[in-house]
Amino acid sequence: MESEMKAGLQLLSEFAPHTLEQWKQAVIDSLKGADYDRAMLTKTHEGITLKPIYTKEDLEGKPWTDALPGQAPYTRGNNPDGYTRQPWIVAQVQDEPSLTRLNKTILDELNRGLTCVQLILHPSTLNGKLPSKADADKRGVPLCHLQDFTAAVQGVDFTAVPLMITGNHSLLLTMGMLDAWAKETGFDLKQLHGAIASDPFSDEEPNYDALMQMTRWAGQNAPHLRTILLDATVYEAQGASAVEELAYTMASAHQILDELTRRGFNLERVAPRFVLKLSLGSNLFMEIAKVRAARMLWAQLIKSWNGTEDAQKIWIHGSTASFNKSSYDIWVNMLRTTTEGFAGVIGGIDSLQIEPYDSHLRPADEFSRRIARNQQLILAEEAQFTKIIDPAGGCWYIEALTSQLCDKAWQRLQEIDAKGGMQAVLANGSIHAELQTISADRITAVNNRRDVKVGVNMFANPADELIRIPAADTSWLDETMQRYAQLKKDASLDPSASLQALDDMPKTECWVKKISAAWQQGADIEQISTALKLKFSPRPIHPLRSVAIMEELRTRVEASPADTRIYLINLGSIAEYKARMDFSTGFFQTAGFPLIESPGFTDLDEAATAAGESSAPAVCICSTDDMYSAHVPALCARLKALDRPPLIILAGYPKDKVEDYAQAGVDLFIHLRANAHDTNKIIANKMGVTL
C-alpha cells in the first residue's frame, strides 16, 4: 500500500511550479491598484532595496555560494563544524574600577556561564596616567601597577578561558604588564588565548610602532593572542549603517597591513593577529548578512594582498548595538539585544558580548548582567544553536543581502583608498560628515515613525518612568590611591634603572620586555608612559541614540509645570472615530501628553462644551473624512468662541480640504507622514513647555 501511494504521488506534475512573473502578477492583482514598488519594495539605510521574494536567480554568477563551511571565502564560517565542536565564546564587559569587587564579579560570572574575561580599561589607563579625582566618576579597570592586574585576575585559570582587552596604543604597556605577570606567576603565555588588541585609529595620530612591537612580541611569546583591533562599533555608535561599518573597518585593515608590511612584517604573520569587533543591530537579516559579508570582505582583502586561504580567516567579536537603545520602556532593550545576539550567532560570530539592557544609563547590576549572560546561554543551550552548522546557508534572501553589502562596502573601500586611505579621510573630516548625514537620516526616520522603536515612537507607555541614574560611586579611587601609596613605600621596588633603559631604548629592541622589567621593579603607568614618550590624542567619538531627541521632548513635557493635556473630540459612532482616535493616542503619547478621551459626539454644541469644561489647552478632532466635511468648520467656530479657545488639531490629512479647514480654525494636522517629533514639539511649545 505504501509503495502504491508513493508511486501515485507526483507533486511536480500535480502542482506545477509558478514563475516569479506569475507570482508578481498575483500580488499586483491583490493590491487593487496600489503601486507595486511603493507597496512591496523597501529601501534600507544601506541603500539596498529589499524585495518581497528572492530566488536562486538573484545569486547567478556568485561562485562563493558553492563554498561549504570552513572553506574560502569563509562566508559560512571558519570552522567546517560550525559551533558543534567549538561554541562561540560568551563574553561580558568588566568595567568595575574597584579591583576587589571586579575580581569577585569575574570569578562569580565564570562559574555562571561566562567563558571569557573581557576587561574595559579606565580612561586614565588608556591615557597612560594614574587615576585622579577628575576621572573618579568614570567606569573602567585601572591597570596602573603590576599589582593591579594580579588583583584583578586572582584565581582565574587562563588555560581554560581567554583574555580580551581592547583599546588604543596604551595596550603596549598592558602587554608588558601581562609579560611581567606571567613571569611573576610562572604562567606559560603560549597557553593564553584571546586578544590584547589596539585600534590605531582610536588616536588622531596612529602609533604603528607600538602596534608593531605588540604584534612582534605576541608572535614570539603568545602565539594565540591577537593584537590588532578593527572596531566597527565606534562607527555604529555614531549612526553608521552596515555598509559604512564594513567599509571603514576594511579600509582601516588595508592601511594597517600596508604600514606593518612596510615595517618588515610578513602578511602571513600579521593577518592572524586581527580581530574585528562588529556591532549587531536589530535588523535581523541585515545583521546576519553583515557578519557573513565581513568574512567575505576580509578574505577578498587578504587575497588582494596575495595571502593564503589560512590568512583569509578573520576572528569576529560581536557586540550588541548602542544606536538603537531606548531609555523609556527600557525592558524592550532586552528584546532588541536578544534579536541582536541571535543575528550574531546565526551569522557565525566567534565571540559575543550582549550588553545589559540598562548599560547606556547606569552601571549594570547583578540582575541586568545575569539577564544579558543568560540570553547567550539560552541561545546556546535551549535554542541549541551549538548543534547546527550554518543555519543561514542557502537562504536566498540572506545570501543576496550578503552579496549586496559586499559590493557596496568594497566600492566604498576603493573610494577611501583613492583618497589616501582611512587616516586621510578621518583627518580631513569627510568620514565625520558622512556619518552626520547618515545618522540624521536614521534619526529622521525615527521621528517620522518610519523606523519603529517600540516604547518610544510607537506603543509608548504613558505610565512609564525614566530610570533614575544613580550618582557615580567614587569610593574606588580612595582604595586605589591608598594602594599606590603603600607601593611607593616599598623599599624593595626601585624602577629608576628600568625607566632609564626605556628612555634610551632604540626602536629595534623589544619594547615589551623592557616595559615588563619596569613593571616588575615597581614603576607605575605614568612613569613608563613618560619614559617611552608616548603621546595620546584620543579621536573624539560622539555616540548617538536614534530615539534620544524624541525621549528628550517627552522628558521635557512630563517635567513641565504647564498644562499639557489634550482633549480627544470623537465625532460619530465608535466605528467612525476609533481608527483615528487610536492613531492620535499613539501619536501624542510619544511626547508624553496626557490625553482625555470622550464619547462619540453627535451634537457639536455638546462637543464644544465638553472640551471647554475640560479646560485642556488643546483638542484633537477624530473621525472620518466625511464627518469632517460635514462638521469641522462648524465645530471649529464653536471652539474658537470659547472663553479660552484651545489649540485645534485634526487627525488626518484630507488633501482637498486642508486649506478650508485651516481657514476654519484647524491649527495642526497629524497623519501618517507627519514628523511626530516636530509636530509634537510645536504643540508643546504652544502649550508653554520650555524646550
CA atoms within 13 A on the CB side of 114: 27
Buried (b) or exposed (e) across 287-299, using 16+ Cβ within 10 A? bbbbbbbbbbbbb
Largest CA distance in the chain: 94
d(CA 681, CA 333): 25
d(CA 222, CA 681): 57
Which residues on neighbouring strands pair with residue 318, listed in sequence order? 278, 352
Query: Do 91 and 169 fall into the same domain?
Result: yes
Query: Do 607 and 533 fall into the same domain?
Result: no
Q: Which residue segment(s) compose the domain that 664 sits in?
A: 548-687
Cell numbers for 39, please give them. Answer: 507597496
Decide which of 492, 516, 546 is a domain's last residue: 546
Whether 467 is in a domain gets the answer: no
Query: Do 300 and 368 fall into the same domain?
Result: yes
Query: Do 417 and 275 fall into the same domain?
Result: yes
Whether 479 is in a domain gets the answer: no
Predicted structure pTM score: 0.94
Sequence-distant (6+) residues with CB within 8 A of 21 are none
Angle at 546 between CA 542 and CA 551, to 5 degrees: 105
Specify the 3-state DSSP secondary structure of 350.
coil
Q: Which portions of the chain are predicted below pLDDT 70?
A: 1-9, 11-12, 507
Query: Do 185 and 294 fall into the same domain?
Result: no
Query: Do 213 and 298 fall into the same domain?
Result: no
Q: What are phi and psi of 318, to 5 degrees?
A: -90, 140
Domain count, the chain: 3
CB 473 within 8 A of CB 140: no
Cell numbers for 195, please give them. Answer: 586578544
Count the residues in the chain: 691
Specify the 3-state DSSP secondary structure of 183.
helix
Looking at residue 18, its pLDDT comes to 81
Query: Do 560 and 668 fall into the same domain?
Result: yes
Domain containing residue 675: CATH number = 3.40.50.280
Whether 477 is in a domain gets the answer: no
d(CA 514, CA 436): 43
Whether 559 is in a domain gets the answer: yes
Whether 497 is in a domain gets the answer: no
Q: Exposed/middle/buried for 16, CB within 10 Å: 0-12, 13-18, 19+?
A: exposed
CB 195 within 8 A of CB 225: yes
CA atoms within 13 A on the CB side of 372: 25
Q: What is the pLDDT of residues 181-209, one digit of tens each?
A: 999 999 999 999 999 999 999 999 999 99
Whether 473 is in a domain gets the answer: no
Whether 70 is in a domain gets the answer: yes
- Stated as kind and residue range, the H or E segment containing 596 is strand 595-596
Angle at 331 between CA 325 and CA 336, to 5 degrees: 50
Query: Alpha helix locations (H) across 458-603?
Result: 475-488, 496-503, 511-520, 525-531, 548-559, 574-589
Cell numbers for 626, please give them. Answer: 466625511
- Stated as kind and residue range, the H or E segment containing 316 is strand 315-320
Whether 413 is in a domain gets the answer: yes
Indicate the pairing of strand 225-231 with strand 194-198. parallel
Decide which of 461, 493, 524 is a domain's last residue: 461
d(CA 473, CA 468): 15
Question: What percentage of the chain's residues is helix, strand, coil (to nearest 5)?
Answer: 50, 10, 40
| Ramachandran sector of residue 195 (left: φ over 0; alpha: ψ -120 to 50; beta: rest) | beta
d(CA 35, CA 575): 28
Looking at residue 1, its pLDDT comes to 44
Looking at residue 470, its pLDDT comes to 87
Query: Do 223 and 263 fall into the same domain?
Result: no
Query: Do 635 and 656 fall into the same domain?
Result: yes
d(CA 420, CA 417): 5
d(CA 684, CA 64): 55
Query: Do 389 and 361 fall into the same domain?
Result: yes
Sequence-distant (6+) residues with CB within 8 A of 453 are 324, 326, 446, 546, 547, 550
Query: Do 94 and 65 fall into the same domain?
Result: no
Specify the 3-state DSSP secondary structure of 192.
coil
Q: What are phi and psi of 456, to 5 degrees?
A: -120, -70
Q: What is the pLDDT of residues 554-594, one digit of tens each?
A: 999 999 999 999 999 999 999 999 999 999 999 999 999 99
Angle at 130 between CA 128 and CA 136, to 5 degrees: 115
Sequence-distant (6+) residues with CB within 8 A of 205 are 535, 537
Looking at residue 7, its pLDDT comes to 57
Domain containing residue 350: CATH number = 3.20.20.240
Query: Do 71 and 120 fall into the same domain?
Result: no
Decide which of 485, 514, 546 is a domain's last residue: 546
Specify the 3-state DSSP secondary structure of 344.
helix
Amino acid at 496: S
